[in-house]
Structure 1
Amino acid sequence: MSIDPLLSIMDKLEKMHKSLLKLAYHKTELIKVGDMAGLDQMLKDEQAHVAAISQLEQQRQKMVTDYLGAKGIALSGQATVADVMEAADTHEEKAKVDEVRKRLLLTIESLKKQNDLNQKMIFQSLQFVNMTLDLLRPQPDQINYSKTEARGSKMQQTHFDSQA
């Protein structure tokens, strides 16, 4: 069995992850300007990308299992690309798989970093909104509506006796 279909799927996975990375960079800009409608649309686009990546990942897993099955290798756990690299016939096939794997992992790592940055920016924005709301909202212990306490404090502060 040829390794080319697996390489093709992995290339597609890399392209989809790079596209998702571009969306993550764009999301950063949307967060900076506070474009909520743009962020809402961005979430829909990301969900579509994640669904496509999930389908490609299932195809990749099936191809890895089929490749290893054709080689007569039965695995007890889930088959991985590293298993394919070990089972590859030639050094050239191993090098191709390793190259695509490294590119995909690099793209995924960049995507993780950008998503972490976006998450931190959104968290800071929420903290700012909550702080602003706290400043605008009166605190219950700062408001005194009690008449007796108000009179008592006035009586203590004044030295003038109106009944004299």
Structure 2
Amino acid sequence: MSVEAICSTLTMLERMHKSLLELAMKKTEIITAGNIEALDQLLKDEQAHVAAIDKLEQQRQKQVTEYLGAKGFASTDKTTVANVIEAAEQQTDRDTLSAVRNRLLLIINDLKKQNDLNQKLVYQSLQIINLTLDNLRPQPEQINYSGSEVRGTNSMAKKSYFDSQA
């Protein structure tokens, strides 16, 4: 396995994450506009992106494991690009891997921020919906069951049927 193959996979991951970031920014606009149909379609697009990213990530892990195995490093559960950077023999390989890795990390960080914003917007929207529903629904103490008295204000002592019939 070569460093170029790993760089290629990282570049594809970078493109996919950048595309996912663009979708997340569109999602912000859709959430603020309240367009449920567009949000539903965007979520389907996001799922396709996430599935493609997952495949690329598995490919990256395999490539990194193979590269480190070829260099004589012990296989661990967490083989990272940072391990490959350390193991790379040529400085140009290290620099290339470092640059691609840093770009990918920046995009992932931006994506996390955008997703946090979207999550907060959705939460606020749900709060507004719940507040509106609460205002539209009659409150239990406002419901008049007996015609003139509000339920629970009856001055008669409440007896259970068991006590009154015994």
Give TM-score scaled by structure 2 length.
0.86
Alignment correspondent of 1:13: 13
Q: For 1:121 and 1:20, how far apart are their aligned partners in 2?
A: 18
Q: How many residues align?
A: 151
Deviation at 1:75, TM superposition (A): 2.8
Q: For 1:77 and 1:11, how far apart are their aligned partners in 2?
A: 23
- What's the CA shift string for 1:3-45, capped at 9, x where partnerless? 1000000000000000000000001111111110000000000
| Counterpart check, 1:97 vs 2:122 | no
SS at match of 2:144: coil
Q: For 1:81 and 1:128, how far apart are their aligned partners in 2?
A: 44
Matches within 5 A, 1:13-162: 13-147=13-147, 149=149
Q: For 2:79 and 2:147, how far apart are their aligned partners in 1?
A: 76
SS at match of 1:76: coil
Give TM-score scaled by structure 1 length.
0.87
Q: State the superposition RMSD in angstroms.
A: 1.6
What are structure 1's unaligned runs of at least 5 residues? 154-164
Deviation at 1:148, TM superposition (A): 7.0
What are structure 2's unaligned runs of at least 5 residues? 154-166
Q: For 1:148 and 1:87, how far apart are their aligned partners in 2?
A: 84
- Report which stretch shifted further, 46-55 or 83-92: 83-92
**After TM superposition, where is structure 1 displaced by more than 4 Å over at least 4 residues in a row?**
none
SS at match of 1:138: coil
Deviation at 1:143, TM superposition (A): 2.0
Q: 1:142 to 1:23 in 2, by over 3 A?
A: same
Deviation at 1:78, TM superposition (A): 2.2
Question: In percent, how many aligned pairs have the same letter?
Answer: 60
Q: Partner letter of residue 120 of structure 2?
A: K
Deviation at 1:145, TM superposition (A): 2.3
Q: For 2:70 and 2:35, how far apart are their aligned partners in 1?
A: 52
Q: 1:148 to 1:103 in 2, by over 3 A?
A: closer
